[in-house]
Amino acid sequence: KHVNDCFPFILYVLIYIFFFIFSDDYSQSIKQLEKQIAVLVMPILIFIFINSENKFKTLVNTYLIGLIFISIISCLVLARFYYLNTEFISTMDSNYLQWKYPHLMDIHPSYWSYYLVTANILLLSNLSKLKPRTNILLQILFNLNLFYLAGRSSIVINVLIYLIFIWYLCFKVLKLSKFKIVIISSILTTAIVVGFYQSPYLKSKIYNLKNNSDERFFLWEGAFKIIVDNHFILGEGMTNGEKSLKKYLEKNYGTDPRSEYNKFDIHNQYIKEYLDFGLIGFISILLIIFYPLRLIKKLSFVNLSLLSFGLLVFLSQLVESVFFRFQGKILISTIYPILILAVTGVVSKIKDNVHNNYK
């Protein structure tokens, strides 16, 4: 039934297999190929075994409970670290604890933030059928965690997603006038932006972005030059993108300390796919994002969840190589199938309950 829904994941893995066959470094290429197995295995498992509303609800709640558990444990770990290192922390700047927070859990802050934004999407569409108070409390918990992590892209995406749901609630459910919706959206957006901007750590990260001190810009320029040299069609080959980028930097910026990087995480999935696999790699990653959106025939809270997650994946890959990290692969290859099941009617009863809860 869901073979068509697996198409972009199948194509993505097939591209890796094809380039593996013609790779000139099998030892490194096989490692890359092994990491992509989850991209195909997770959707297949979910489509096969999640065949009832109860199983669907259990899966969604497991995801939310897992994030609650991680949030609580992370706070305890941070408190313990602060207690044991109070004197040392007092010698550091005011942003040190906030920077240290995700590293204590050995979790990349950006991906942790994306998991939290995804949880907000599941809560806003209420796919787990939680009671309103419980739903709101969890949203507060996850947003506070998101605020402390201070991920720039995740906060922007989170605000956009809330505005999408607020717009739909006001326009379609409450049937407010467009003028009132604009006023409400403007007030909420201002409040959210001002609230998040109170974080000195977040402000410092925004300052670095404004002053082009983020290493992404440096790496993107070199990668794009290589893509142009390949006429926007060909790729460097599996695992060769980073090698070519390093050679380019050594040739053009031999004295720059960044040329000594052992790994060149470009922090942009589109550029990374283009660099390795050429145009076909770029198209394959776009298909993973946009192909599921064909299922949206009309707007509803459930359909908005799929649309919002598509927005999250699309924007996040502009600043992170999401499929390069295991956390990113698991998030996308798990949540997309879950939302596809919701949109295609496996949880048809939930659709009605979501609409009623917002009335």
Q: What per-residue confidence (pLDDT) applies to 343?
A: 93
As given in the structure block, the two tokens for residue 165 are 């749901």
The full DSSP string for 229-252 is HTTTT----TTHHHHHHHHHHHHH
Residue 332 CB contacts under 8 Å (≥ 6 apart), including other chains = 39, 288, 313, 322, 323
Contact call for residues 19 and 236 (beta carbons, < 8 A) = no
Give the length of the chain.
359
Distance from C-alpha of 126 to C-alpha of 166, rounded to nearest angstrom = 14
Q: What per-residue confidence (pLDDT) applies to 352?
A: 47
Residue 357 CB contacts under 8 Å (≥ 6 apart), including other chains = 126, 132
Distance from C-alpha of 328 to C-alpha of 350, rounded to nearest angstrom = 27
Q: What is the mean pLDDT of each run of 10 residues along the chain (359 residues)?
A: 89 91 83 85 92 91 95 94 92 86 90 95 90 90 87 87 88 73 72 68 64 68 86 83 80 59 73 90 94 91 95 93 88 95 72 51
As given in the structure block, the two tokens for residue 328 are 């990113």
Instruction: For residue 178, give the amino acid letter.
Output: K
Q: What per-residue confidence (pLDDT) applies to 242?
A: 79
As given in the structure block, the two tokens for residue 286 are 């776009």
Q: Where are the alpha helices (H) located in 125-177, listed in sequence order?
A: 132-149, 152-168
Q: What per-residue confidence (pLDDT) applies to 203?
A: 67
The radius of gyration of the chain from alpha carbons, rounded to an integer in Å, stands at: 22
> For helices 348-358 and 53-84, what crossing angle results, to 10°?
60
Q: What per-residue confidence (pLDDT) applies to 307?
A: 96
